[in-house]
Copies of this chain bind each other. A is one copy, B any other.
Amino acid sequence: MAILSRAITLTESTKETHKQLAGEILQGVIHATGNSFRLGITGVPGVGKSTFIECLGKKIIKQGHKLAVLAIDPSSSKSLGSILGDKTRMEELSTHKNVYIRPSPSSGTLGGIAKATYETMLLCEAAGFDFIIIETVGVGQSEVMVSGITDFFLLLMLAGAGDELQGIKRGIMEMADSVIITKADGPNLQKAQLAKAQIENAVHLLQPQESGFITSVEVCSSLENKGITEVYLLIEKYRKFAIATNYFLFKRKKQQRELLYDFLEESLKKQFFSNPKVIQELKKIEEQSISKGFIPFNLANALIRKIIDP
């Protein structure tokens, strides 16, 4: 795992030589990737993601899987403290020989985080991990990205937090392959059952999933270790269903095509604005754009024509 960690660190580096080396390593192991099940998990802070992953993760390794957990939180630059926090909250998992826990870099553009997370996932697969969990916070755009690189997407929700939707945007609910109501124990259990019915109602109003799999709503308690097996079985059921219908491969290919186009746009902008000729010309053009007698669109087009052959 020391080698894996070194390789991931190269992937995350901003140094050009490191990036090149990382690219070469990836190209060298690419044929050993793609053989895992990729699970995305999102939910607002406080919903109990870490303890849920601790419970589900133990179930997963008990089935003989090797598990990698990648955590993304683009809303805050993750400090060393919170990384340790993650590992502490996943106490049993983090010390298990078949588990690898790693926070993804949270700085930089979303496109950059997507690339680093995707490459980290590939490296984990090449290192033999056949179950990948990618965890993120359901408050920004990162869950769209995670949903775009995983096979199955779980949305964790708390019951009885006043508004059942807890600021979760409708769009996130639409991405979910399953909604899990956490902390359904003690006095919370009844609220959780009520929330389940309400969310089931809401989910039925949404468009059916492209996969044809019915979005289910489950309740669980990490504290009492209840409902976790059901979630694991649900994921297993989906995996078999999606492989049988060929949707599994169809979705992976679609995701790879989308990654290609997203990255083309991101990289095009980056390479254009860091091009020495562009940097030099932009100084002049910016001056012109704020003086009378120039039309910004004409200035822009002229510059682009100098860089890209028509």
Write the residues of chain A forming the contact surface with B, with a CB cutoff of 8 angstroms.
23, 26-27, 30-31, 34, 115, 118-119, 122, 253, 256-257, 259-260, 263-265, 267-269, 271-272, 275, 277, 285-286, 289-290, 292-301, 303-305, 307-310
Contacts and interface: CB of A to CB of B under 8 A. Distances in A.
Contacts of A272: 264, 268, 308
A31 B285 contact: no
Nearest to A299: B260
Nearest to A24: B298
A35 to B, nearest CB: 10
A134 to B, nearest CB: 17
5 contacts: A257-B290, A259-B296, A260-B286, A264-B300, A307-B309
A303 B268 CA distance: 10
A293 B257 contact: no
8 nearest CB pairs, A to B: A253-B290, A260-B296, A260-B289, A259-B296, A264-B300, A263-B300, A256-B289, A256-B290
B309 A275 contact: yes
A296 B257 CA distance: 8
Contacts of A299: 260
Given A119-B295, A271-B310, 9 more contacts: A34-B292, A260-B286, A263-B297, A264-B272, A267-B300, A267-B301, A268-B268, A271-B308, A275-B310
Q: Which among A122, A268, A271, A290 has the highest number of chain B CB atoms within 10 Å?
A: A268
Given A260-B286, A268-B269, A297-B263, A275 B30 contact: no
A306 to B, nearest CB: 10
Nearest to A33: B292
A305 B272 CA distance: 10
A267 to B, nearest CB: 5
B308 A285 contact: no
A10 to B, nearest CB: 14
A34 B296 CA distance: 14
A89 to B, nearest CB: 32
A300 B260 CA distance: 6
A251 B267 CA distance: 31
Contacts of A308: 268, 271-272, 275, 307-308
A31 B27 CA distance: 56
A36 to B, nearest CB: 14
